[in-house]
Amino acid sequence: MSRIAVVGTINHDRIVAPDGRTHEDLGGILYNVLTLAPFLGEGDAAVPIARVGIEKRAEVEGLFSGYSCVDGSHLIWWPGGTNETVLRYITPDEREETLIERIVPLREEEAAPAAECDLVVANLIWGKELTPELLRVMGARGAPIVLDIQSLVLTFEKGPGRGYRNIPAWREWAAPVQVLKGNEEEVRWFAGEKGRFARDLRDVLLALLDAGPNVAIATHGTSGASIAWREDGERLFAEIPAVPIPAVERADSTGCGDAFTSGYVLGMLRGERPLEAALLGSSLAALVLKTRGLRALRGLPDPFALRGEAYADLLERVVQSRKGESRRGEP
């Protein structure tokens, strides 16, 4: 039985598709919680920790209804309102983001319940939720931390569009983390010193490993992902092809990155290797790509089954490598 803290922000999103169609919904870490909840094991629990406007309480609690595995007791109902984000998609993989800020960062006593959990997902939806010090507080009792850097690398100027920025203290953010994830642009700006880290993406991810994490992941939208990880004293790297989804079946890419994180965490809970867990993340993201809005997540098919179909050859190679290790360990 495991308790998974999901720490970040709950937003109100206004989403403008490339064809101009618009819809509004809640978002942020709700995408993590609602893609974890259907697939958690018996006795497991997702524990969201976030600040959200009190005017959204009934809506949030309604989304959690029917999921006994979601413990919403650590949400902070904020009288000042809910952050709003306008996500204007130029292509399915490229978007312009505009932010209206209404909340304040989490305080230590508000984030502290994460330290009582068995695993922590810190998703920087807003970019100001946490500090490196709070990450250390949340991991003080040994819980592994999965950090999705997301908006940490975005600017906060008022008006349309948020640009990228470097994070001078990025090594302090990375040090207490076991898994560090972002999309390719996010990890390049996170690890860059003056602008975008321009060298090969493999070099970027290996540089992140040198700062402390055991796993570093860069997603590429509908084109797959790249992963670097430590295993048996080696640093390994792999490219993960995307699950092929026909264009006519792609509904909305909002939340797909969060779903990748959730799938990876589901693999961690089963004791899977980083590559296996990343394949599960890619599978769950592909399923979310075919949906629009949080309520549609209740009907998600089984990501484990999709992984078995889409990545049969890669999974077989992982199994064979395990058998090889077992044989090497025989007397």
Torsion 59-65-70-74 (CA) sign: positive
Q: How far apart are CA 291 and CA 70, in angstroms?
A: 21
The pLDDT value recorded for residue 331 is: 35
Is the pLDDT score of 305 beyond 60? yes
Three-state secondary-structure class, residue 127: coil
pLDDT of residue 323: 57
Using CA atoms, how far residue 175 sits from 124, 179, 286, in Å, is 16, 10, 30
Residue-averaged pLDDT of the chain? 92
Can you give the pLDDT at residue 217?
98
Nearest to 119 by CA among 273, 271, 282, 276: 271
Question: What integer is the mean pLDDT of 142-146?
Answer: 96
Mean pLDDT of 205-211: 96
pLDDT value for 193: 79
pLDDT tens digit sequence for 186-203: 999 999 977 888 789 999
What stretches of 175-213 show up as alpha helix (H) in DSSP?
A: 184-191, 201-210
Output the pLDDT for position 208.
Answer: 96
Arithmetic mean of pLDDT, 48-71: 97
- What distance separates the 2 farthest-apart alpha carbons in the chain? 66
* Domain spans, the chain: 3-328
Whole-number pLDDT of residue 87:
87
Q: CA–CA separation, 254 vs 44, rounded Å?
A: 26
- pLDDT of 266 > 70? The answer is yes
How far, rounded to the nearest angstrom, does the alpha carbon of residue 272 sit from its chain's CA centroid?
Answer: 17
pLDDT digits (tens, 9 = 90+) for 222-245: 899 999 999 989 999 999 999 999
Is residue 140 scored above 80 in pLDDT? Answer: yes
Kindly report, residue by residue over 15-33, the tens digit of the pLDDT. 898 888 898 999 999 999 9
**Residue 330: what pLDDT?**
43
Is residue 204 a contact partner of residue 211, using CB atoms and an 8 Å limit? no
Give the Cα separation of 88 and 81 in Å (integer). 22
Question: Looking at residues 85-109, what average pLDDT do you find?
Answer: 90
Q: What does 53-83 look like in DSSP terms, one character per residue?
A: EGGGHHHHHHHHTT-TTB--TT-EEETT---
Q: Which of these, 81, 82, 64, lies nearest to 73 by C-alpha position?
A: 64
Is the domain defined by 3-328 classed in CATH 3.30.30.60? no
Cα–Cα distances (Å) from 2 to 116, 222, 260, 282, in that order, read: 11, 31, 19, 23
Q: What is the mean pLDDT of residues 253-269?
A: 96
For the residues 272-295, what does the mean pLDDT come to? 96
CA distances from 79 to 54, 129, 148, 268 (A): 6, 17, 27, 36
Task: Calculate mean pLDDT across residues 142-170.
Answer: 91
- Residue 281 tokens read as 């993340």
* CB-count exposure of residue 73 (10 Å: 0-12, 13-18, 19+): exposed
**What pLDDT shows up at residue 162?**
83
Q: With 80 as the cut, is the pLDDT of residue 154 above it?
A: yes
pTM over 0.85: yes
